[in-house]
Amino acid sequence: MADIAIIGAGYVGLTTGACFAHLGHDVTVADVVPEKIERLNRGEIPILEAGLDELVAEGLEAGNLRFVLGAANACRTAEFHYLCVPTPQGSDGSADLSYLVAAAAEIKDILPANSVVVNKSTVPVGTTTVVEDVIRREDVKVVSNPEFLREGTAVSDFLHPDRVVVGAEDQEAAIRVAGLYARVASPVMVTDPVSAELIKYASNAFLAVKLTFVNEIATLCERVGADIDDVTLGMGYDTRIGRSFLRPGPGWGGSCFPKDTAALVRIAADAGCAFDFIEQAITLNTAHFQRTADKVESAVQGGVAGKTVAAWGLTFKAGTDDLRESPAIEVLARLGAMGADIVAYDPAVHGQLASLPGVRVVEDPYSAVDQADVLVVLTEWSEFKGLNFDKVGELMRSRTIVDARNLLDRSALKRRGFTHIGMGR
């Protein structure tokens, strides 16, 4: 097994470190926030990721996982050095590599001979060379090993990936990194760094475009009287389309898709390619937020101005506590601007949101619907399906639900006197 240093204890670094430890490696995770390091060494996990707390506890107990302050304290004895620092979206759409470059500069002189530096964060095409230029050591190789972790299922996605991608000019370094995944029963492909970096962006952008396609088809279904559930079921039988990622919603969001689609458009533009089709998908996705808000506006007699709108769901998707680029927040911001008085509940969100100043966040779904003129479901938390809708109906001023995730049982709700307005049906 190998000595691995992880630089950055965020969603990607924490999951990568805990999973590598679970696979038997000796892992030291570094971060720059002292309180975060103290909490992590006590087994306290700052993010909601299924199974992550168990793996961290397992690694701490076994002694092959530890958290330290500062990258230097992790890299001195490690053979592999995973860069898992943020690569946020710059104002011009390009990825901001300042954290990555700073991390590489911080460790370049203390890396043991024959080390391998690995880019795990999502980075633009050509970044492997950028890191090589910072480190500038013949005895240190730089490899791309992009992450394909979905928030909420990151542990499962790491241990049971569809594929592992390794990109390196130096084949020996690539094989060494591929060897870290020896106990992962998934295909491991080795390619050049540029191809590895592009696989990540191309995959995420394809998924985002697929979702935009589904949301546009859902809108068309409403206009022509088709049922999106049957349309996507029929589509999914074609193995070239596949069943997954065909659920309509309020639009796509999160900390990756918006950033990665904008970055790919910029990467293409810098290479002289006009990726208008991805720009259009981004534009249509933003328009879909407004379309979802308009659906709520139309569902309320006289519109939402001055009315009470209950919202179930604030996070960008179920299974996570992440509010970054959340479609739910985009829709509620628009409803607030239309004059709605909004009360929101999300099982993973506690306390008021600075991003939604006019919205009252409550601690249970029934308080949210009390005296509401309409309920809008924006995040597909499964707990919403099991609630007592007789009680919901008694509490609401009007039994009207806009189900932006097609999550709830339409016929059961109709039997209870609800008007259920879905997406594409």
In this structure, what token pair is assigned to residue 249? 């919603």
Alpha helix segments (H runs only) across 108-192: 127-135, 154-159, 171-179
Catalytic, out of 84, 221, 256, 273: 256
The smaller minimum CB distance to ligand UDX, of residues 112 and 236, is found at 236
Q: How far is CA 290 from CA 139, 334, 335, 377, in A?
A: 54, 7, 9, 15
Q: Is the dihedral of CA 165, 166, 169, 171 positive or negative?
A: negative
Minimum distance, C-beta of residue 139 to ligand UDX, in the bound complex (Å): 31
Select 213 or 245, whichever has its Cβ closest to ligand UDX. Answer: 245
Side-chain-facing half-sphere of 136: CA atoms under 13 Å: 5
Task: Check if 256 is active-site.
Answer: yes
Output 74 or 211, the one with its CB closest to ligand UDX: 211
Closest approach of ligand UDX to the CB of residue 393, in Å: 27
First vs last C-alpha separation in the chain:
53
* 419-421 β-sheet, strand order: 360-361, 341-345, 308-312, 374-377, 400-403, 419-421
**Closest distance to ligand UDX from the beta carbon of 246 (Å):** 6
Rounded to a whole number of angstroms, the minimum distance from the CB of residue 135 to ligand UDX is 25
Minimum distance from residue 158 beta carbon to ligand UDX (Å): 10
- Are 373 and 299 in contact by the 8 Å Cβ rule? The answer is no
The two structure tokens encoding residue 129: 């060379």
Residue 383: Cβ within 10 Å count = 10
Q: What are phi and psi of 309, to 5 degrees?
A: -110, 120
Minimum CB distance to ligand UDX smaller for 20 or for 252: 252
Nearer to ligand UDX, 90 or 236 (CB): 236
- Residue 353 or residue 396: which is nearer to ligand UDX going by CB? 353
CB 264 within 8 A of CB 274: no
In order, the DSSP letters of 188-253 are EEEE-HHHHHHHHHHHHHHHHHHHHHHHHHHHHHHHHT--HHHHHHHHHTSTTT-SSS----S---
Closest CB 243 distance from ligand UDX, rounded Å: 10
Where is 337: in which H helix or E strand? Answer: helix 327-337
Using CB under 6 A, list all residues that contact ligand UDX: 147-151, 204, 207, 211, 245-247, 249, 252-254, 256-257, 316-317, 327
* Cβ at position 345, least distance to ligand UDX in Å: 18
- Closest to ligand UDX by CB, 300 vs 319, is 319
Residue 141, SS3? strand
CB 48 within 8 A of CB 152: yes
**Cβ proximity of 119 and 145 under 8 Å:** yes
For ligand UDX, the closer of residues 299 and 423 by Cβ is 423
- Residues β-bridged to residue 119: 83, 144
The distance of closest approach from Cβ of residue 347 to ligand UDX in the complex, given in angstroms and rounded to an integer, is 15
CA of residue 169 relative to chain centroid, distance: 30
Could you list the active site residues? Answer: 256
